[in-house]
Amino acid sequence: MKFIDKGLRALKTEKPTEIFRSEQHPGFAIEVSRSGSKKFVFIYKIKGFKRKMPLGRFPDGISLANATEKWIKARNLLKSGTDPQAPEPCPEPESEAPKVLLLGDLADDYLEKYSKKHHTEVWHYNLTRAVKADIEPTLGHRPAAEITRAQIIELMEATVERAPGQAATVLKALKAIFDFGIMREKLITNPCYLVKMAVPSINQESRKRYLSDDEIRHMWSAVDKGPGSLQVKCALKLLLITAQRPEEVAQMKTEDIEKTEDGLWIWNMPISKQKINKSKKRKKKNDISGDGENANAVDVATVDERPIHRVFLTELAKEFIIPVEEGYIFRGPGKTNTKPITRCSISKLVWREVQHKNSETKMMETVKLPYYGLAEWTPHDLRRTARTLMGRAGVSKFRAKRVIGHSIGGIEGVYDRYKYDPQKKAALITWEEELLRVLGKPAPPRETYYPGQTEIVVGILPEELIDEDEDEEDEDD
């Protein structure tokens, strides 16, 4: 839209917040809240990360003309390769002075020497993103030994306001980086402790949202009719069918799918694609030395030799597996693109509003409402929906917990290394039947999954598939 003072003053929105972009100036935008407050922002990308720079509140704090001048300065810095929000670098120390350990250097050291070797690919990526997008731009230029708890609190408050879901990961990364420095005898104290008590909003309340039967039917149909790529649509529905995490489905590979002689498919999910090591094996802090034989890291989960997570793919799941010869099944846009879609791509398909211009009336028309017109929900809520409706369909907690890949704690987690493939298969077949019942579609006959076993067809499970329902607490993720 064209930015005119009078028009900007009249802007309103029914959403919690809405961003209106300037047609004349790339990245120049105004953020409007439901309460009526407005502020100018500069939206840009640097080093692959999207950032938002506040320019001032309108109209009381800054005028349109002054905001435009600030945008011009910020854009010129960006063109020169400098982050407009980066503080001025510290002066170079004199040659004879000892080298000061900056937090950015310590963070890079931690990511390369510890996290890359001991964490899963997913967790290492999350930590790297937290360092590059949140920690280094604000504190990376400061000496690590001089950073105070007050500065950490200020950073966390800003992160909670900008991206509440990212705040916990940023704090975990900071704690691990400072602990790494302490164990390598480069630092004495960790300023991150007790920060959670100072900023309680870091602890996000566990979500409880799941979709009802009517919402499932509406979502299923609306996804087919609405805009979006086939890859992202298929991945979204596969979340509900398999009850796995969005990032795990997004990174599914053809090589991970095992096809049996009976025509059955099993998805062998590598440990590196899972959210984090489910054994929750922890190392003692006094074992951390950085390099050498006892180079065990900070008190965080590390990868062990746990068997891969095997997920049985039902006939309904097969319908949404896009056939490719090799590599990632759900790929990003472009015919030659071999990279997978991201969790953000799936989330964006759900929450965004899409408008197209009507060729006849020349007016903008909404072709997709946010969340497909339902109450707010996320792709991860489909996983919770599947887990909830499994219980309604009669799947025991024992089986459901293993289907969704939650960790098994205590003595059982240490000694019971059985994969429970037949039990997980039976649970996912039962869930498929329940989901198809909700959608009003016929379920495949059970003999499809159990060739030659007629007792399965009438709904009687063989003895080896029956288990005792244990009184275990489910972990929420």
pLDDT of residue 459: 42
> In this predicted structure, which of 83-97, 148-162, 177-191 has the lowest mean pLDDT?
83-97
For residues 37 and 240, the model is more confident at 240
pLDDT at 97: 56
Could you tell me the pTM of the whole model? 0.64
Split at pLDDT 50, 70, 90, the class of 186 is very high
Please name which of 43, 298, 65 lies closest in space to residue 175, comparing C-alpha atoms.
298
The more confident residue out of 198 and 93 is: 198
pLDDT in tens, 140-172: 999 999 999 999 999 999 998 888 888 999 999
Q: Higher pLDDT residue, 424 or 95?
A: 424
- What is the mean predicted confidence (pLDDT) over 121-148? 92
Q: Is the pLDDT of residue 471 over 50?
A: no
Q: What is the CA 98 to chain-centroid distance, rounded?
A: 41
pLDDT on residue 453: 66
Please state which of the ranges 54-63, 315-324, 368-377, 434-443 shows the lowest mean pLDDT.
54-63
d(CA 364, CA 305): 55
Question: Quick one: pLDDT at residue 127?
Answer: 94
> What is the structure's pLDDT at 465?
45
- HSE (side-chain half, CA atoms, 13 Å) at 62: 17
Confidence (pLDDT) at 279: 37
The pLDDT > 90 percentage for the chain reads: 49
The more confident residue out of 288 and 174 is: 174
Per-residue HEC secondary structure of the chain comes to CCCCHHHHHCCCCCCCEEEEECCCCCCEEEEEECCCCEEEEEEEEECCEEEEEEEEEECCCCCHHHHHHHHHHHHHHHHCCCCCCCCCCCCCCCCCCCCCCEHHHHHHHHHHHHHHHHCCHHHHHHHHHHHHHHHHHHHCCCEHHHCCHHHHHHHHHHHHHHCHHHHHHHHHHHHHHHHHHHHCCCCCCCCCCCHHHHCHHHCCCCCCCCCCHHHHHHHHHHHHHCCCCHHHHHHHHHHHHHCCCHHHHHCCEHHHEEECCCCCEEEEECHHHCCCCCCCCCCCHHHECCCCCCECCCCCCCCCCCCCEEEEECHHHHCCCCCCCCCECCECCCCCCCCECCHHHHHHHHHCCEEEECCCCCCEEEEECHHHHCCCCCHHHHHHHHHHHHHHCCCCHHHHHHHCCCCCCHHHHHHCCCCCHHHHHHHHHHHHHHHHHHHCCCCCCHHHCCCCCHHHHCCCCCHHHCCCCCCCCCCCC
pLDDT at 180 over 80: yes
What does the pLDDT look like over 414-440, one tens digit per residue? 888 888 899 999 999 999 999 999 999
- Compute the average pLDDT of residues 387-415: 88
Distance CA 342, CA 467 (A): 37
Least confident of 150-159, 180-189, 201-210, 309-318: 201-210
- Lowest average pLDDT, out of 64-68, 209-213, 385-389, goes to 64-68
Domains of the chain: 5-79 (3.30.160.390), 213-270+308-390+402-441 (1.10.443)
Predicted confidence at residue 98, as pLDDT, reads: 66
**Position with higher pLDDT, 49 vs 352:** 352
Q: Which of 256, 230, 242, 219 is nearest to 369 (CA)?
A: 219
